[in-house]
Amino acid sequence: MKNSISKTNLNNFNKAFSANKSAKISRNALVRSDINNIAMDWDGLRSVDHTYSDIVSNEMAKVTNQKASGRCWGFAGLNLMRLAFAEKYDLKDFEFSQNYFMFCDKLEKSNYFLENIFKTFDEQYESRLMMHLLNDPVQDGGQWDMFVNLIDKYGALPQSVMPESYQSSKSRMMNGFLTRKLREFAWVLREMNAKGAKLTDLRKEKESMLSTIYSMLCIFLGNPPETFDWQVKNKDKKLIRFNDLTPLEFCKKHVNVNLHDKVCLIHSPMSNKKTYQHYTVSYLGNVVDGKIISYANVEMDDIKRATVKSLKSNEAVWFGCDVGKMFHRDLGVMNIDLYDYESVLGTNFNMNKGTRLEYGDSIMTHAMLFTGVDLVKNQPTKWRVENSWGEKGGNKGYFLMTDKWFDEYNFEVVIDKKYLPKRILEIFNQEPVALDPWDPMGSLAT
């Protein structure tokens, strides 16, 4: 074939399609129907069964709902913490304030962004790095180590103390205004620097900028309290009362989860990454001088063994995956065999996990919690997932992930160190290799 499409090519393409009866049947079905309804595989559908051999005993009856926001990583982290808190105080239901968490995250991301502008004064505005930094400076997304940074610095609140606002549940417009202002601030700082402004003057200007961001956040999300009183009745109707606590005191005194005992494992079989190597991601974070992004790239069997150990020890597991692939939202099912797209479309899709990452076909898009696993002869067949999209999908908001789906589209888990062998823990003693800011392993935060 020549470099352009000729009339002969078009005629041949059309003849080949017209001679293909299966293609014409698919055409007739798809021009008027959703492809997922047409491609749904009966064997995949009838295998949906929300029963498991092992479920954490403190699993909450009601799932949370992040609504029209990208706070999944924060919801998953707070959901992990609420299991321990609710178990400690024998509570039927409980939620931390996701709005308070969001307020702190947006403020810290704004400062982190401006500090990155200081670091890149020598970059041309059109460089790939600058375009990356300016693209989405206060996105809703984040990573596990960013979650730990916020809890360490700001603590947490019960949801009723700082409830959801319209903007926290529907964040697009708020993010747009904050982004517009931060881009303006980046321009101002770079112009001041180009004209020879002193560092002290630049930092004074940055402080004024952050005061503006803080005020905007208060307008969008409400003022975060410095101290609070809170009370609740447990399952036995016993009143539990907390008085005059700061968010940090509340978290340190009453939430029995040591976040620093947990580490992040990834499975990224890309050609630019080594197995059993320590990685970080450049220019990715929220709290300046906080924990850096820290990953140990391991084999999938390492991830599964550690996850099963954690669940069997009654500890849920935070994880990051590509939720949109081979997924049915209403059924709440992630199953490689759920759809037969290849038969419908008359072509095979041959990329493996590593190739999909390298060529932009798969990235981490969502964080959730594993709360259960179904083991047959000590091998996992499916996983129970606590999502943060409300109770409509799946089993009242709890989703099912098949083990084959786990292999292909799960990329990251957070595991307590006590469930990991020495050889895995020693990876974190290595000097981390810094990945590019746009690496797929940073996508959950963008």
Indicate if 387 belongs to the active site. Answer: yes
How many other C-beta atoms are found inside a 10 Å radius of the C-beta of residue 205?
16
Q: How far apart are CA 434 and CA 159, in angstroms?
A: 37
Q: Is 175 a catalytic residue?
A: no
Residues 100 and 163: their CA atoms lie apart, in Å, by: 8
d(CA 373, CA 376): 10
Question: From residue 67, how far is each of 60, 163, 167, 214, 324 by CA, in Å?
Answer: 19, 14, 11, 23, 16
Where do we find the tokens 């375009």? 131
Q: Buried (b) or exposed (e) across 158-185, using 16+ Cβ within 10 A?
A: bbebbebbebbbebeebbeebbebbbeb
Q: Which of 149, 267, 321, 366 is catalytic?
A: 366
Please, how many CA atoms are within 13 Å of residue 125, restricted to the half-sphere of its CB?
9
Q: Which of 65, 72, 116, 267 is catalytic?
A: 72
- Alpha carbons 400 and 383: distance in angstroms, whole number: 6
DSSP code string of 164-211: --HHHHB-HHHHHHHHHHHHHHHHHHHHHHHTT--HHHHHHHHHHHHH
Tell me, yes or no, if 278 is annotated catalytic. no
Q: Which two tokens stand for residue 393?
A: 């999908």
- Quickly list DSSP for 384-395: EEE-SB-SSSTB
Report the alpha-carbon distance of residue 173 to residue 164 in Å, rounded.
16
65, 116, 335, 387: which is the annotated catalytic residue?
A: 387
Asked if 158 contacts 97 with a C-beta cutoff of 8 angstroms, the reply is yes
Strands 410-416 and 398-402: unpaired
Q: At what angle do helices 144-154 and 247-254 cross, to 10 degrees?
A: 110
Give Cβ neighbours of residue 378 (< 8 Å, ≥ 6 apart): none
In single-letter form, the type of residue at position 244 comes to D
Rounded Cα–Cα distance for residues 446 and 437 (Å): 10
Write out the two tokens for 34. 């959703």
Nearest alpha carbon to residue 34 among 398, 321, 323, 329: 329
Catalytic site positions: 72, 366, 387
